[in-house]
Amino acid sequence: MFETLTNTLEGFFSSIRGRARLTEKNIADGLKEVRLALLEADVHYRVVKEFVEHVSTKAVGEEVIRGVNPAQQIVKIVHDEIQNLIGPVDTAIPMRQDGPTVLMVCGLQGSGKTTTCAKLALHLRRSYSCSPILGAADVQRPAAIDQLETLGREIDVPVVSDRNADPLMIAMKTRFQAAENGLGPVILDTAGRLHIDEEMMEELRELKARAKPDQIYLVADAMTGQDAVNSALEFNRSLEFDGVILTKLDGDASGGAALSIKAVTGKPIKFVGLGEKLDKFEPFHPDRMADRILGMGDVVGLVEKAQAAIEEEDAQKLQEKLRRATFDLEDFRKQLRTIRKMGSLRDLFGHLPFIGSKLDQVDFDDGELDHVEAIISSMTPEERTNPDIIAASRRQRIADGSGCDAVVVNQLLKQFKQMRKVMRKLSKGNVDALMDMMPAGFEEMAGGSPAAVPHKRRSRKSKRKRK
């Protein structure tokens, strides 16, 4: 996400790098490109104006720290300003002690509102160990009730619906059922429209007045940019919601809505949707988002994904296998499945520092993981444990079973043997073995040259020469 803006900011930082000091002129020259990039990213013009002014004032003012590299200083200033622009935000949901908490979800039709209700329910159940219940209060769109009921069955969350009742009656029934069965919070899916109209807003105002929700969330489509900001502004004027749930953020290359909504409406982004699957939903962290926009990645988010996908017992077993160098193809297959649970390869690499902005140059094929798993699954348990017994006839059988050529099977086995060889060296404390794991061209990617990297084989030759 935000590739265009990230690339422009990296160009700005590069132009500053190497300067002896920050001046009004070199800052102004660089910020012209940043201003243009923000406007092209569909960021609200008032937000752009204030952002550029704040960065310029801090960069050439008294807040510049003497003795600090100007490029590092400007990165820090821009990072802080982005964080201030989209934050702060409290992602906690206050839960009532005297009855079920009621959360009302509204938004324009097509913003992903109904799916977001199910995502929110799943997130709350996992994060708060609660038992949410969904209310199908969108009676305007016929498919909305069916959709919510289907999603409810998928995540095993009860849905209250009545095709002959009005939204207020459905809200009351959902609240009553929640109180009677000790469920909560109540999540109400309300009607959306193709555009904001007074009839729609009046229905929502009446529902707010009589159902008395504890929190109201607006669902906005990040990919609609300025339209999402404008609709959020109108909703807030008529309804006054508590926070925004921004959907489709994973497909937003510009970032206009994410960078504008808080500044324009005064309401924070509380949650974001990052994919179609129901578990692709998480609290919004302004500091992490600022890191990703600046190409610094989101290592904390990546660790959280790993913790959610890997059981502690499995992690301990894997650690022991790696320590003893007994990692086999069955373990490898398990790790492939764990990686898929964490998300797509593009998403995972996007969390790594200084890589996210380069992802548009790489063609990721998650299907390759499926091909590798198919090959391993075509092996017998004995072959997965001891791949050295896989001769030509076995390779052909495995190839036929996985739908590939025997050459591909042979390549996989060779790569695995090389990896296991490195693991054995590492288990004996041979740190130089890490160099064997580097892909071709790693030195150039790191900004150096093969001669600049202290490779083990080259160092041995140097020792012989010294002797």
Task: Residue 136: count other Cβ atoms within 10 Å of its Cβ.
Answer: 26
Estimate to the nearest angstrom the gap between the alpha carbon of 410 and the chain centroid.
Answer: 35
Overall CATH class of domain 3-86: mainly alpha
What are the distances in angstroms from CA 316 to CA 312, 321, 457? 6, 9, 33
Amino acid (1-letter code) at residue 293: I
Q: Does domain 102-292 have CATH number 3.30.450.20?
A: no
Residue-by-residue pLDDT tens, the chain, 467 positions: 577 777 777 777 777 776 666 677 777 877 888 888 888 888 888 999 999 998 888 877 544 455 556 667 777 888 888 889 998 889 999 899 888 999 999 998 889 999 999 999 999 999 999 999 999 999 888 799 999 999 999 999 999 999 999 999 999 999 999 999 999 999 999 998 777 678 888 889 999 999 999 999 999 998 888 888 888 998 998 889 999 999 988 876 677 888 899 999 999 999 999 888 898 899 998 888 888 787 665 444 555 555 555 566 666 666 676 666 677 888 888 877 777 776 665 665 555 554 555 555 555 556 677 888 889 899 999 998 888 898 889 999 999 998 898 898 998 898 888 877 776 666 565 545 444 444 443 333 333 333 333 333 344 444 444 44
Domain spans of the chain?
A: 3-86, 102-292, 303-426, 430-467
Q: Is the distance from CB of 93 to CB of 242 less than 8 angstroms?
A: no
Record the pTM. Answer: 0.68
Q: Is 269 helix (H, G, I), strand (E, B) or coil?
A: strand
Collect all residues with Cβ–Cβ distance below 8 Å to 37 and sequence separation of at least 6.
Answer: 4, 5, 8, 9
Structure-block tokens of residue 84: 């201030």
Q: Is the distance from CB of 364 to CB of 345 less than 8 angstroms?
A: yes
Buried b (16+ CB within 10 A) or exposed e, 23-46: eeebbeebbeebbebbeebbbbee
CA distance 449 to 441: 9
Query: Under CATH, which number does the domain 303-426 receive?
Result: 1.10.260.30
